[in-house]
Amino acid sequence: MTVGDAIVQARILGPDKPLTLGPPTGLSYAVVAVGANPIPATTYYLKVSQFNLWGESIPSAESSGQVVGANHSIQVTFTPDPTAVRIRIYYGLTAGGENAYFDYFPTTYPPTPGITSGLFPATFTLNQGGSVTPPCYEVAGTGYPATASTAYLPDQDGKLISAAQMYMWLNNGLRLAANYTGGIRDVTGVGSINAVPMYTLTGLWKRLTHGWYDGYVMEIFNKRNFFYANSTNGYSWGAAVSYNAERAIAEVFPQPQRTSGSTTNGAQINIGDTTITLTSSANFVLPFGLAAITGNPSPGNAGYYPGAPRTEIIAYSAINATPQMTNVTRALGGTPALSFANGGATITELNIRFAGLRKHFPNYVQGMASQTLQIPNEWHGPLSLYLLSYFREAEQDREGAAQLRAEFETQIRAMRASDYPGPFQMGAATGREIFGGSYGGGWLLP
């Protein structure tokens, strides 16, 4: 589900629909000879529409009759909207009788949210499959042109409520939902620095429940177990976390004995990439784990602008000899998926790893409609109720607004997170484990 999905659903229920994508413009038609797959020789009438992530536009004005002879087809030329993700060319044998179509999907479908321009050619020839540049999938179907546009533009205003107000309401609802449920389950991490004990975590966290240092378990406990008389370097086996001023600060003990690996990207990173090329992997110790990509995002990142350093946390499954991080999971810890130019980002091994419950982070802003809404799937229904409550309030129906918010709270609180998914069965003892007790020593469990 995208950010725009939540906004459009609420606006439809409001009702206060936003502006919609218009039909294609600047169209021209020509009958051309083709070497294969001609369309039947007759006269055709055509209309063209375009789809964004939320629906279909109304069609263009109808073309004049296109007289097609043997071994010919019709060529349609125009420039799709940069946000278009599908093109549909309707055709029929009489004026106003369009009842069949060809759909054109880019080969990268579904397209990358926020970066959709350049996926289509300027010219489409009917019944020619992917023989265009860039290539597209051509799918034939039957149906009639839309009579009203459903290609909503969630980042645009409605007649009553502005887009900026919708984003404010959405962020309010997400903050409340995270508070009522105890938080969103997620992972995060930081790169260790030799002999440095304290680190500020990326994002907003309610509680961290588990920790690891270089792959070994760290206990999460209070600071009375720490030794402050002098620096003690080694494998960190304990961590304490302070939550204040809208930030989480983790302190580990003993102090780390190494600085985590760091390099730059050796190739452009696009949103959706699952393989990331590194300049070097020489200082990376963990064969799989978390990493942070930090730099100035490339143009085209919705809601993010060049010149403002941003961080994305990822998980990688392996580092090959190229070197490349492979089977990468993007946008963890509440961070957004971003794109970076070749050499434009620093990639840091996050060998101090945490799992826990985070708050809503980051705030979504106008321009992010195509971004993935990073919330549990079960929240979508209650969130619509919360957003709808503001429409009732705008109509001075305070009782209706209060009922919707109460229903939202009841449904969300029923999803409150627990520490463990449980129930689970304890396995048999398989060996010795050592747990840190205090600076004076630990326990050896046979």
Identify whether residues 161 and 118 lie together within a single domain.
Answer: no
Percent of the chain with pLDDT over 90: 52
Instruction: Say what the pLDDT of residue 430 is.
Output: 47
* Residue 435 forms part of a structural domain: no
Q: How many whole angstroms separate alpha carbon 383 and alpha carbon 389?
A: 10
For the segment 400-418, the average pLDDT, to the nearest whole number, is 89
For the segment 427-442, the average pLDDT, to the nearest whole number, is 49
Identify whether residues 265 and 326 lie together within a single domain.
Answer: yes
Percent of the chain with pLDDT over 70: 85
Identify whether residues 339 and 220 lie together within a single domain.
Answer: yes
User: Nearest CA to 271 among 300, 306, 308, 310?
Assistant: 300
73 pLDDT above the threshold of 50 = yes
Residue 304: pLDDT band by 50, 70, 90 thresholds?
low
Domains contained in the chain, number: 3
Instruction: Name the strand (E) or helix (H) holding 406.
Output: helix 398-413
Instruction: Say what the pLDDT of residue 111 is.
Output: 58
Cβ neighbours of residue 422 closer than 8 Å, sequence gap 6 or more: none
pTM, full prediction: 0.79
Identify whether residues 67 and 194 lie together within a single domain.
Answer: no
Residues 160-207: pLDDT tens digits? Answer: 999 999 999 999 999 999 999 988 999 999 999 999 999 999 888 888
Instruction: Say what the pLDDT of residue 364 is.
Output: 87
Q: Among residues 358, 380, 402, which one ends one of the domains? A: 358
Q: Among residues 312, 331, 358, which one ends one of the domains? A: 358
425 pLDDT above the threshold of 90 = no
Identify whether residues 339 and 372 lie together within a single domain.
Answer: no
Residues 218-269: pLDDT tens digits? Answer: 988 877 777 777 788 888 888 888 877 678 889 998 899 999 999 999 999 9
85 pLDDT above the threshold of 50 = yes
For the segment 428-434, the average pLDDT, to the nearest whole number, is 48
419 pLDDT above the threshold of 70 = no
**Beta bridge pairs of residue 326:** 318
Residues 208-220: pLDDT tens digits? Answer: 999 999 999 998 8
Residues 16-69: pLDDT tens digits? Answer: 999 999 998 889 999 999 888 888 999 999 999 999 889 999 999 999 999 999
* Torsion angle of C-alpha atoms 364, 368, 369, 370, degrees rounded to 10: -130
Q: Which residues of 248-271 are buried (b: 16+ CB within 10 A; e: fewer)?
A: bebbbbbbbeebbbbbbbbbbbeb
Identify whether residues 3 and 66 lie together within a single domain.
Answer: no
For the segment 68-84, the average pLDDT, to the nearest whole number, is 87
Average pLDDT value for the chain:
85
Give the lowest-confidence range in 7-11, 313-317, 323-327, 435-439: 435-439
For the segment 391-415, the average pLDDT, to the nearest whole number, is 93
HSE value, Cβ hemisphere, 13 Å, CA-based, for 144: 5
Q: Are strands 324-326 and 352-358 parallel, antiparallel or unpaired?
A: unpaired
**Greater pLDDT, 417 or 446:** 417
Instruction: Say what the pLDDT of residue 277 is.
Output: 95
* Residue 235 forms part of a structural domain: yes
**Beta bridge pairs of residue 197:** none
Instruction: Say what the pLDDT of residue 80 is.
Output: 82
* Residue 218 forms part of a structural domain: yes
**Contact (CB, 8 A) for 252 and 353:** no
* Residue 432 forms part of a structural domain: no
Residues 345-360: pLDDT tens digits? Answer: 999 999 999 999 998 8
* Residue 428 forms part of a structural domain: no
Residue 135: pLDDT band by 50, 70, 90 thresholds?
low
Identify whether residues 188 and 168 lie together within a single domain.
Answer: no
DSSP secondary structure string for all residues of 151-170: -B-TTS--SSS-HHHHHHHH
Identify whether residues 227 and 334 lie together within a single domain.
Answer: yes
* Residue 36 forms part of a structural domain: yes
Length of the chain: 446
* Residue 446 forms part of a structural domain: no
Identify whether residues 344 and 218 lie together within a single domain.
Answer: yes
Identify whether residues 165 and 194 lie together within a single domain.
Answer: no
Identify whether residues 354 and 372 lie together within a single domain.
Answer: no
Instruction: Say what the pLDDT of residue 127 is.
Output: 82
Domain that holds residue 166: 1-19+153-182+364-420
82 pLDDT above the threshold of 50 = yes
Structure tokens at 152: 């909503």
Q: Among residues 86, 114, 142, which one ends one of the domains? A: 142
Instruction: Say what the pLDDT of residue 339 is.
Output: 85
421 pLDDT above the threshold of 70 = no
**Contact (CB, 8 A) for 148 and 17:** no
DSSP label of 20: B
Identify whether residues 176 and 193 lie together within a single domain.
Answer: no
* Residue 382 forms part of a structural domain: yes
